[in-house]
Each structure stands twice: as C-alpha cells, then as structure tokens.
Amino acid sequence: MLKIKNINTYYGKVHALKNVSLHLHKGEIVTLIGANGAGKTTMLNTISAVTPPSAGNIIFEERDLAGLSPDRIVKLGICQVPEGRQVFKPLSVEDNLHLGAYLRYRGREGRAEIRRDLDDVYALFPRLLERRKQAAGTLSGGEQQMLAMGRALMARPRLLLLDEPSMGLAPLVVQEIFRAIEQLRQERGTTVLLVEQNAKAALRMAGRGYVLETGKVVLEGLPSDLLENNDVQRAYLGKDKKEIWER
Amino acid sequence: MQIWEPTYECMPREELEQLQLERLQATLNRVYKNVTCYRNKFNEIGLVPEDVRSLSDLQKLPFTTKEDLRLNYPYGMFAVPLREVVRIHSSSGTTGKPTVVGYTRHDIRTWSNLVARFMTAAGVTHDDVVQIAFGYGLFTGAFGLHYGAEAIGASVIPMSAGNTEKQIMIMQDYRTTVLVCTPSYAITIADRMEKMGIDPKSLSLKVGLFGAEPWSEAMRKEIESRLFISATDNYGLSEIIGPGVAGDCEQKCGMHIFEDAFLPEIIDPETGAVLPPGSVGELVLTTLTKEAFPMIRYRTRDITSLDYAPCACGRTMVRMKKTMGRSDDMLIIKGVNVFPSQIEEILFAVEGCEPHYQLVVDRQGAMDVLEVRIEVTENIFFDEMKRQRAFLEMVEKRIDSVLGVGATVKLVEPNSIPRHEGKADRVIDKRRL
C-alpha cells in the first residue's frame, strides 16, 4: 500500500534521513523504533509532506506523492497524529473533531455522513462523547490523545501515521489507546505506521518493525526478532556501542 | 505439496524487490558501521552505503572472497560482538587457514526456517522420520538439516556420518522415511544394501535430501531407481549460512534461491562483470538477513545459471541450475568459457553412462585447439569404420553447438587416461606449460 524508496530529508543542513526505504501492506501495523533523533518523526513528517523529502519516492496506492501539499495527501487518505497531540485547546471536543473533517465539508459528501463518522469516533472513544462540549484544553493527556486520533479519523484515512501516542500517559491509558489502534485495524482495515519511544509495547502490537539509527534503517524484521536484538536494546537502554563491544 | 512460508516464497517480484532493497540497505548500514574489512573496502573506492539506491547498484560494491575471510581469521568479519554469537562453525581448511562463521540466536532461527522451506518443498512433513547422515561437528550440513527438520516437527535421528551397516540397520528398524546425506554416500548405501541382499523396497524411505557436493542429473536418476525415493538437491555454503540457500521443489527443475534472504548474481569469473539472466557463470551471493556474519557479494566459485521464469510449484523465487563445477576449473578456449562438466554432460547424453575422458587444450600458432579424448567402452565400440566416424562427428557437432567451440574428438584405449584416486585427470592445458 505504501512503498518508500531512498528517502533523503534535510532539516536545514542536517541530513535527517539517509536513503530510507520501507513498505507497508494494507492492514498492517508497522512500527518505527530508534533512539531520540534517529529520524522517526522526520519519517512521518516526510510522508505527510510537512517536511518534504529532497530525494526519493513515496508511492501510496500506486500514486507518487512527490510534490503534493499536505492537504492533498490528507485527501488521498493519509493522516498524521502529531507528537504531543496538538489539539485546538480553546475549542470544544466536538469542534476539534469537526475540524478533522475540514476537507470533506467542501466535497459533495453530506453532513449526515460526517455526523455518522462522528458517532463512530465516539463509539471508539466513549470518553470523548462524555466531554464533547468541554474545551479540549481541559482534557487529560490521555483524552487529548484520543481526541487527536479521533480528529485524524474524521478525515477517513486509510493510512494512519501515529507519532508517540503513548508519550507521558499512564499505563492503563496507554493500553486503551493501543486497544483502539488494534480495533481500527481489525474493523476498518486501517494501515498504521507507528512511531514509539515505548518500543516494547509498540513491538508487541506491530506485525513488523524497522529500526532507525542516525537517519538510516539498520534492521527490518518481525517484532519478536527485533526485541531480542542488541541494536534495539542499545537504542533503548542508551548503552554506548563500546560498552557492549568486546573482541 | 506444501509451502513452508508462502508469504515470502510466493511473493510477487515487485514486492520482493522492495523488500530486498530495504534489507540490502539495512545490511550495508550495519556492515559499514561494524565490520572494519567492509568499511575499508568501501572507503577505498569512495563509497558509502547511501550510494546504493537500487538493487543494480549492488554492482558498485566490491566482491568478498575466501581470501578476505582468511585475512580476517578468525572473528574479523563478524558484525556483532562475540557475546551475541551463539554458534561458531568453520569450513575445512584444505587450502590454508580454515574460515570461521558465526550465528546469533536470530540467525539460527532464520537458518532453521530456510532449511524447513526446502525440506517442505522436497515433501518432508511432521510425520516423517529423518535420518541425518551428515557429520555433526564444525561442518554446517548436519546442524542445518537437523534444525530444519525440527522446525517442521519431523522426528530427527542424528546419526552422523559413517558406519554404513549401522545406518542401514537403523533405517530398517526405525522406519526412516527421509535420508539426509551426500549424494555419493547415498550410492554407497545402495551398494552396501545390494551386497547385504536388502531390498530397498522393504524400507520406508521416500525422500532423500542430498547436498554438500555437486552431483549430476544422471546420479539423481541412479539414486532414485536404486533406492526407490525422490532424490532432491539443495545448495548452501557455510560462508553464506550453510544449507538453506536454495533447494529443489517437487518440479526438480532447478533449486529455488530464497531471495528474501540472499541476493544472487551471476558474474563472469574472469572479468567480474555481471552477466544477463540465463548466462552461465559464477554465483555471487549477498546475505540480506544475517546478523553475525553478513556477506556482501561473496564469490562462491560455484558455476551455475539462474532462471527467472515462473515455476509450476507456485514459488516466485529464482531457480539456480545444479552447480556445474567450480570457477577454478574453468577453461577459456578461443575466448569462450568452457567447463569440463559441460562436456561431461554431452558425453553422458550420447553414451548413456559416465565416461572417462580428458580435455587437451593446446595452442597452434595463435589459435586455441581443444581435443576431447574418450576411453572406448562397449557402448561406443564399433566394428565399422564408417559408424565409428559418424559417431565421432556427431559428438563433435554436439560440442560445437553447446559450447560454441569446435573440438576434435578422439577415441583412446581403455584405461589409457591416468587416474588419481579413481578420478581421471580431466584437463591438460598445454598452453600454460
């Protein structure tokens, strides 16, 4: 469904992604893991064209995304849930969700359909329904994460890019978020590219994973294999290469 | 017939190539960081892993040879610290120092799976009793097949090599259904059974998995008709992973190389140039999933050709022909690469049995000439000169059309070609003398 070849992305002079290639099949949950600054968020921003690549191809459902603006990419069916939720704090929960369907108000789709999608989001996250009139800024971290995901779902994505959904959340809430991701995949066949600092949890849920290190992919494989890999452990335990390197 | 991992073995080529590229790039990133030998090699030609943007860019990379492995003896080519290595194997050091290879826990799992693939393709299931008559030890063969059989869930008898009569006894008593050994040992077993007066039909054997040495289609037929089994070939070498690089499917029309794990190329052994699909040349392999001992463009020295045509078994992975000898045996005659095994094949086709022959290459003026000497046997002895000449002309024609090089064929007295340890001296190259 998504095929990425030789992506190179720069932040100013910083070469953040060096020749990264990866792919996702339909309905797959794939996780990108790596230490801070490895390029995980950049990868998501590159796909959603927030920071477009300087070279390489991104093919989504047979279509080259080169040169497309972020809103066009949302329209094609790719939605990003940014790190730190980034909800519109003064607006109500429901208004936040309506904004997620912003592009669709201009289309021919009826409001009735958007209304139905809203109900689906509420069904997925009942807590949002309870707080629909409340200002988003008054929600807890976990609820804001649900709102951010719900807002993305209002654009009806087939590919969901999730950036650190568990960040700063209590374990129980994390479980709830992850359960929702799994439910999305099962019920709607949504494909998910998941960036996580919580590698163990992410790998437990994902079907496959890639390990990024300083802007390069160093490993691809099944979660079980990656979990026991030393490169992965190093990336998370923050151990220096020399400490575990023995000859 | 079952397929062990259809997701990979039957993957559409376009998807496979994406996966190969991703894994190749990840492997290059790792070896560049962790293996001094590769880093130096890449730096020498001013190449960084990021320069590899497509599978064909692989051609920019330098080859790795057995010599590199020797220079880095024992652990220099390892890409992980020794602490992560759970197994060490070694290849025989017939010429100089042996080479050492290592496996991480994940590599062992990968290996088991790859072997399970060709064992399943050969028809092995969890109901089988597998007798492994490869030597257990530093050699990778026995352990590879052992793990593969266990992964499938078959019952493994780790017999190890030798003691033929005991092998046969166990085969009878334990009702072995699958025999794993070298093809020549299978013949030895058949010979011994004949001597002992044991009818192979009284055994439970149904499949043979033969490897670790090159063997011909003729040998396959002989084993199949004498042991009443399906004889399958598989290919591997310890530097790459051991057995599990490629294996026959039920079609027996070439061994499927497991391309999600290994990237094959065929090169001209003299120039190193990559040859188009279908050409005969030296097999070069790059590992895509190995952790402890990744190999970049390793020259196997084995001569074969690749066939990308779809296979009736449903696997999409490329097929390699049975190896036709070693690139070290290659002769260049009038600029054409000639392997003694090609001529052997022709002679076998016209004679119906393995002949004793000798190739004599000489230079007359600036021209190379090839003479093929064949020892006379009952099959090719003719009273009439006319028939004799017609036979020789026919062989010459076949050689010319197959090799693209003209040769003169001569019959010589039986036992006139000198033999060493039962094997004839196949080639005399007078040009180098």
Sign of CA dihedral B125, B129, B135, B137: positive
Q: What pLDDT is stored for residue A53 in this prediction?
A: 94
| pTM score | 0.85
Whether residue B96 is predicted with pLDDT greater than 70 in this model: the reply is: no
Q: pLDDT (tens digit, 9 = 90+) per residue, B7-22? A: 999 999 999 999 999 9
- Are A80 and A163 in contact by the 8 Å Cβ rule? The answer is yes
Percent of chain B past pLDDT 90, that is, above it, reads: 65
Which residues of chain B neighbour A244 with C-beta distances below 8 Å? 81, 83
What contacts A230, CB < 8 A, 6 or more positions away? A244, B80, B81, B84
How far apart are the C-alpha atoms of B123 and B249, rounded to whole Å? 8
Which residues of chain A neighbour B75 with C-beta distances below 8 Å? 247
Q: Among partner residues B18, B22, B106, which is closest to A228 by beta-carbon distance?
A: B106
Percent of chain B past pLDDT 70, that is, above it, reads: 96
Q: What pLDDT is stored for residue B178 in this prediction?
A: 98
Q: Which residue in chain B is spatially nearest to A17 when comparing CA positions? A: B50
Percent of chain A past pLDDT 70, that is, above it, reads: 93
How far apart are the C-alpha atoms of A103 and A155, rounded to whole Å? 7
Where residue A208 falls (left for φ over 0; alpha for ψ -120 to 50; beta otherwise) is beta
Whether residue A236 is predicted with pLDDT greater than 70 in this model: the reply is: no
Q: What pLDDT is stored for residue A247 in this prediction?
A: 38
Angstroms from B47 CA to nearest CA on chain A:
14
Q: DSSP label at B273?
A: P
B82 in contact with A at a CB cutoff of 8 Å?
yes
Angstroms from A31 CA to nearest CA on chain B:
15
Q: Which residue in chain B is spatially nearest to A230 when comparing CA positions? A: B84
What mean pLDDT do residues B101-120 have? 97
Mean pLDDT over each residue of chain A, to the nearest integer: 89
Cβ of A217 within 8 Å of Cβ of B26? The answer is yes
Q: pLDDT (tens digit, 9 = 90+) per residue, B220-268? A: 999 999 999 999 999 999 999 999 999 999 999 999 999 999 999 999 9
The candidate with the shortest Cα–Cα distance to A59, out of A6, A13, A121, A124, is A6
B15 in contact with A at a CB cutoff of 8 Å?
yes
Q: pLDDT (tens digit, 9 = 90+) per residue, A98-155? A: 999 888 776 666 778 889 999 999 999 999 999 999 999 999 999 999 999 999 999 9
Q: pLDDT (tens digit, 9 = 90+) per residue, A7-20? A: 999 988 899 999 99
Percent of chain A past pLDDT 90, that is, above it, reads: 74
Q: What share of chain B is helix, strand, coil (3-state, %, to 5)?
A: 35, 25, 40
Angstroms from A4 CA to nearest CA on chain B:
9
Angstroms from B107 CA to nearest CA on chain A:
10
Q: Among partner residues B33, B50, B84, which is closest to A19 by beta-carbon distance?
A: B50
Angstroms from A161 CA to nearest CA on chain B:
20
Q: What pLDDT is stored for residue B366 in this prediction?
A: 79
Give the residue, B422 or B106, on which the prediction is more confident.
B106
Q: pLDDT (tens digit, 9 = 90+) per residue, A161-217? A: 999 999 889 999 999 999 999 999 999 999 999 998 888 888 989 999 999 989 999
In a mutational test of the B interface, the residue from A58, A211, A216 whose CB has the highest number of chain B CBs within 10 Å is A216
Q: What pLDDT is stored for residue B177 in this prediction?
A: 97
Q: Give the tokens for residue A8.
A: 């190179």
User: What residues of A are in the B interface, CB distance below 8 Å?
Assistant: 3, 5-6, 8, 18-23, 210, 213, 216-221, 225, 228-231, 244-247
Beta strands in B268-376 (DSSP E): 281-287, 298-304, 306-307, 319-320, 331-333, 336-338, 357-364, 367-375
Q: Give the tokens for residue B13.
A: 């080529």
Which residues of chain B neighbour A218 with C-beta distances below 8 Å? 26, 29-30, 33
Q: pLDDT (tens digit, 9 = 90+) per residue, B406-423? A: 889 888 888 787 765 545
Q: Among partner residues A5, A220, A225, which is closest to B26 by beta-carbon distance?
A: A220
B60 in contact with A at a CB cutoff of 8 Å?
no
In a mutational test of the B interface, the residue from A9, A23, A218 whose CB has the highest number of chain B CBs within 10 Å is A218
Which residues of chain A neighbour B25 with C-beta distances below 8 Å? 19-21, 216-217
Q: pLDDT (tens digit, 9 = 90+) per residue, B136-164? A: 989 899 999 999 999 999 999 999 988 99
Angle at B337 between CA B334 and CA B342, to 5 degrees: 115
Residue type at B131 in one-letter notation: Q
pLDDT interval class at A238 (50, 70, 90): low
Q: Is the peptide bond before B74 cis (omega within 30 degrees of 0)?
A: yes
How far apart are the C-alpha atoms of B225 and B252, rounded to whole Å? 16
- Are B117 and B247 in contact by the 8 Å Cβ rule? The answer is yes
Q: Which residue in chain B is spatially nearest to A245 when comparing CA positions? A: B81
Q: Among partner residues A217, A231, A246, which is closest to B82 by beta-carbon distance?
A: A246
